[in-house]
Structure 1
Amino acid sequence: MRIALLTRRFDSAGGGTERDLIVTAEALRAAGHQITIFAGEIRGATGQWDVHRVGAGPGLGRALSLMRFAWAAAPAARRAGAELVLSFARCVGADVMRSGGGAHASYIRAARKWRGALGASAMRISPYHRVQMLVERQAFRSPGLKRVIAVSDFVRRDLIREFGLAPEKTVTIYNGVDLDRFRPAADPSERAAIRQKFAVPGSARVVAFVGNGFARKGLGFLIEAWPLVAGGAFLLVVGADRAADKFERRAGALHVGARVVFAGPQPNVEAMFHAADAFAMPSLFEPFGNAVMEAMASGLPVMTSAFSGVAELIPPSMRGFRVENPDDVGEVALRLGALFDAPASLGAEARETAAKFTWTRYANELNALIESIG
């Protein structure tokens, strides 16, 4: 079958949605389908993929560029001979929509928790965000839409609620994790080297936090709770944020600056997991949470939140680390204490849980869905 994949941005070296798109393209091609990609923006080399730019125009702002792509991409794909159109972006007229983030309206409502009332109101009236909500309403309510793929039941329930989708029209296909890249450290010297690089004592307990968008992912709550954490534990923060200085200043004001290490973005994030004893990300809004699954694959017990899709996959032995109210610093500290007291055997159980959710499993479930509607 000739299948078109739609995406706002194609980047063969990217992460997140860009990585998911490439994995999907590989899975469909391995099943014998002919794949063409239509993107509003192309970065880097296209390599082995047939990639077409669509919807671009000179002098267009973000809102108009988004609108033009949203209505032009699916027709362009069909004119090029696509028999099925699968969209990773908010596009009108696709046969299958994959949602990695839930309804944009839900995101804006949730943003009040980390942006404040004024910041969330500014988003709500922004032309760019208004266009996103307009497009997704048209896309998810299109009579030609055959299936909707959600990256978690958290997202699936949100889409059903927001757009009145028939439950049987939606399916959850969880992201996979690279078990070869993310695995427990084989060499203890690697753990020691990373700790030495960031001036973390070899004997200290270390909790890793990995991700961009610190406020949404709950880093502020971890820092607020850190003075309540006993035993001189360290928090190793990996990632980038425009407001990183604010978080560093807050750690200093709470007199835990020496125990909160801001490592910045790291190209080999798997090595950072090897330096840690546990992982924590008490997000306020997390459609899935790839970093949580990567931490489990690396053999770390994890703390997540009730507002994270990946929490659905946490084994029963780790549910006591799940934060129900991330903005409750007392609860965050309590869950951290339980995380520190976790038996060493939970590392192996974390790895076993992650091993159930491979990209091979994702490919099999995706191809079964495509066959059911092809």
Structure 2
Amino acid sequence: MSKPRHTLWYLITALSVGGAEKTLVRLANDLDHETFDVTIWTIFDQNPLAANLVDEVTLRTLGVEGITPDEGNHYVTGASNSLDYVRAPVRFFRAVRREEPDLVQSFLFYDNVMARFAGLVSPETVVITGVRSVPNETRWSVETVERTTIRLSDAIISNSEAGARLARARGANPGDVTVIQNGREIDVFREADQGFFREEFGIAPDAPVFGTVGRLIERKGHHDLVAAMPTILDRYPAAALVLVGEGPEREALRHRASELNCEDSVHFAGVRDDIPRILSTFDVFVFPSYFEGLPGALIEAMASGLPIVTTPVDGNRELVENYRHGVYVSPGEPSEIAWAGIRLLDNPELASSLGTAAQRRAQNKYTTDRMVQSISNLYRCLTENEVES
């Protein structure tokens, strides 16, 4: 007797180049497609990560044209027509009512609200919403909508313990909240070759390289990292900083580096598809964000065996323990970033031990296989409960 095949719909704003989107692509690709008939719905038409989907995954879009400030359409800042914020949910609700998928899972605020109301038009559909980050401050309107609608979710998946606490504080039934951490293909990062990355950016073979990966947005702390460079260069004049990613802060960061007379040492790598190779070139990975969920970029740095400098916020703290896998610095403190980075370069044995411990932790706790298996188990539990009820 064959196993029942469940219709599983994912809903996300766009398959942009970001942590949540990369995690979704990996999850959709690696699920058992004999058990789950997987479709990804996006609100916007611009989906650069769609090329990474396997043939078994269907991509459907709600047809909204987004504003994309970079040539590669790597991220979307909003809809070109504000009326589409009304049209898109209506189109999705009609599709849900017509096709009645077994499961709908969403990840981000706007998608979560849509998914919760979609459950009202198809009561047999199991709705799973997500918590991907824990902001330091939330707009009153967002907080009100979250508290009003959160119990419409049949289940909530948080990628961090901090996110689970936030969901419960907003009124979610504690029994409906599950923590499933992000995962990555650890061996891909552990075994990466350095290639010619230094040569590509004109970085000397023996120059110490600081770097980070993430969207160039204010909360990621890139401005603090750039501001730390003059102090680092005083101690290590050949040092280089590599910022991997795109975002609205790119030009402001360039301007800041120029103001600090360190523009020749700061390299903007843009969006890359060879992250393991780039990370293998770094000597220190710096992740000075102001708030997070459970950042995939930090897991990738751990998998690469890099010594890490990071802020002890939310998911960062869950991944990296101070002086066990990396070094903590306070958010918004360039002087602390410089001090921590210099200390790791001055103490290669400490840097090596932290990197080795971080890599071991990633291998043991944050693999793609573990993430996919945990989520698959939850899906099966939810669908079995639905059949029984």
Q: Calculate the TM-score normalised by the size of structure 1.
A: 0.79
**Shift of residue 178 of structure 1?**
1.7
Aligned length: 342
User: Which of 327, 331, 339 is the aligned partner of 1:326?
Assistant: 331
**Shift of residue 54 of structure 1?**
4.7
**Shift of residue 363 of structure 1?**
1.1
CA distance change for structure 1 residues 261 and 53 in 2, over 3 Å: closer, same or farther? closer
SS at match of 1:97: strand
User: Which of 157, 166, 171 is the aligned partner of 1:164?
Assistant: 171
Counterpart for residue 311 of structure 1: 317
Within the alignment, does 1:225 sit opposite 2:231 as a pair? no
User: Which of 364, 367, 372 is the aligned partner of 1:363?
Assistant: 372
**Shift of residue 150 of structure 1?**
0.7
CA distance change for structure 1 residues 16 and 224 in 2, over 3 Å: closer, same or farther? closer
For 1:27 and 1:79, locate their aligned partners in 2 and report how far apart those are by CA, in whole Å. 27
Within the alignment, does 1:205 sit opposite 2:241 as a pair? no
CA contact (8 A) 2:28 2:38 kept: yes
SS at match of 2:219: coil
User: Which of 341, 357, 360 is the aligned partner of 1:336?
Assistant: 341
Counting aligned pairs with the same residue, the percent is: 27
**Shift of residue 166 of structure 1?**
2.7
SS at match of 2:104: strand
**Shift of residue 169 of structure 1?**
1.7
AA aligned to 2:308 is: V
C-alpha RMSD of the superposition: 3.1
1:268-310 alpha-carbon deviations (Å, 9 max, x no partner): 2222112111100100122222111111112211122122514
For 2:246 and 2:40, locate their aligned partners in 1 and report how far apart those are by CA, in whole Å. 29
Counterpart for residue 117 of structure 1: none
CA distance change for structure 1 residues 184 and 303 in 2, over 3 Å: closer, same or farther? farther
Matches within 5 A, 1:21-170: 21-30=24-33, 32-42=35-45, 43=47, 47-54=55-62, 63-70=82-89, 73=92, 76-88=95-107, 89-90=111-112, 91=114, 92-93=116-117, 94=119, 95-102=126-133, 106=135, 109=137, 136-142=146-152, 145-161=153-169, 163-170=170-177
For 2:306 and 2:243, locate their aligned partners in 1 and report how far apart those are by CA, in whole Å. 15
**Shift of residue 74 of structure 1?**
5.3
AA aligned to 1:213 is: L
1:137-186 alpha-carbon deviations (Å, 9 max, x no partner): 454132xx22100111222222222x222322211111111224322444
For 1:41 and 1:368, locate their aligned partners in 2 and report how far apart those are by CA, in whole Å. 30
CA contact (8 A) 2:220 2:290 kept: yes
AA aligned to 1:159 is: A
Within the alignment, does 1:252 sit opposite 2:258 as a pair? yes
For 2:24 and 2:270, locate their aligned partners in 1 and report how far apart those are by CA, in whole Å. 26
CA contact (8 A) 1:100 1:288 kept: no
For 2:224 and 2:337, locate their aligned partners in 1 and report how far apart those are by CA, in whole Å. 7
CA contact (8 A) 1:55 1:73 kept: no
**Shift of residue 61 of structure 1?**
6.1
CA distance change for structure 1 residues 274 and 328 in 2, over 3 Å: closer, same or farther? same
For 1:4 and 1:373, locate their aligned partners in 2 and report how far apart those are by CA, in whole Å. 12
Counterpart for residue 372 of structure 1: 381
For 2:191 and 2:285, locate their aligned partners in 1 and report how far apart those are by CA, in whole Å. 13
CA contact (8 A) 1:3 1:83 kept: yes
SS at match of 2:355: helix
CA distance change for structure 1 residues 81 and 15 in 2, over 3 Å: closer, same or farther? same
CA contact (8 A) 1:218 1:282 kept: yes
CA distance change for structure 1 residues 101 and 213 in 2, over 3 Å: closer, same or farther? farther
**Shift of residue 202 of structure 1?**
1.6
CA contact (8 A) 1:326 1:332 kept: no
1:169-220 alpha-carbon deviations (Å, 9 max, x no partner): 211111111224322444x6x2xx3212212222221111112124221111
Unaligned regions of 5+ residues in structure 1, if any?
Answer: 111-123
User: Which of 278, 297, 300 is the aligned partner of 2:306?
Assistant: 300
CA distance change for structure 1 residues 246 and 84 in 2, over 3 Å: closer, same or farther? closer
